[in-house]
Amino acid sequence: MPKIVNHRERREEVVEAARRIILREGIEAATTRAIAREAGYSNGVLTHYFADKDDIMLSALRSSHRRIVERLRGKLAGLTGLAALRELLLDNLPLDDERAAESGLEIGFWSRSMTSPAMLEAQRAEAEELRYLVRSLLGAAAGGGEIATADDLDDVTERLLALVDGLSAHHLLYPDRLGAARLERMLDAELDRLRPNGGRAGPGSQAGGA
């Protein structure tokens, strides 16, 4: 009998092979030849499942985002307001090897997105989901009296996202200067500025919003 091929499974194998290469060696190393070799297939097999290399890269990016979302669901369970916001932002910082690899993958895709409309659209869609979540948690924290700021919360949202992106990039470039402990301390300092009278809650505070 002819072998039954699970097309979805084979496609996922190729995507995961691309993701492994990017995490291990960087986006430039993820050539179609390297991806095929990593997945254990010939170059020709890839053309049956993907339109081109960008299609593979886009699928790898979405796969990485799905993993992050699944991890966040567990971390945010039972948290609201400022506690949930802190956990969300910390998860987007490269505080361990896994998140450092994910940050490297994400940053590596930034430049590629500038020349790929499909990838740029995917990046913007994912970024908008994160921006919406940060803004919603800020609103909940404000409603619960956890934060008090005269700044527009949309502006605060952009500032927090820019801080996370900037700290992530600097950590990858200058790990000796910006270690994980310092990243966490700097994020906490920014969140503390939002608290009433600049009050400080200890790391890992579980205070929730309304």
Tens digits of pLDDT across the chain (210 residues): 444 556 788 889 999 999 899 888 888 898 999 999 999 988 888 888 898 888 898 898 888 888 899 999 999 999 999 999 999 999 999 999 989 988 988 888 888 888 888 888 988 988 999 999 999 999 999 999 999 999 999 999 999 999 999 999 999 999 999 999 999 999 999 999 999 976 555 444 443 332
Provide the 3-class DSSP secondary structure of residue 200. Answer: coil
How far apart, in whole angstroms, are the C-alpha atoms of residue 201 and residue 194? 11
CA distance 88 to 1: 51
- Asked whether the beta carbons of 86 and 92 are under 8 A apart, the reply is no
Which is nearest to 15 in space by CA: 70, 53, 71? 53
Alpha helices in the chain (DSSP H): 7-25, 32-39, 43-49, 53-76, 81-91, 97-113, 117-143, 153-173, 180-192
pLDDT digits (tens, 9 = 90+) for 69-82: 999 999 999 999 99
Question: At which residue do the structure tokens 């700044």 appear?
Answer: 151
Task: Specify the pTM.
Answer: 0.82
Angstrom distance (rounded) from CA 45 to CA 124: 30
Q: Which two tokens stand for residue 136?
A: 């919603």
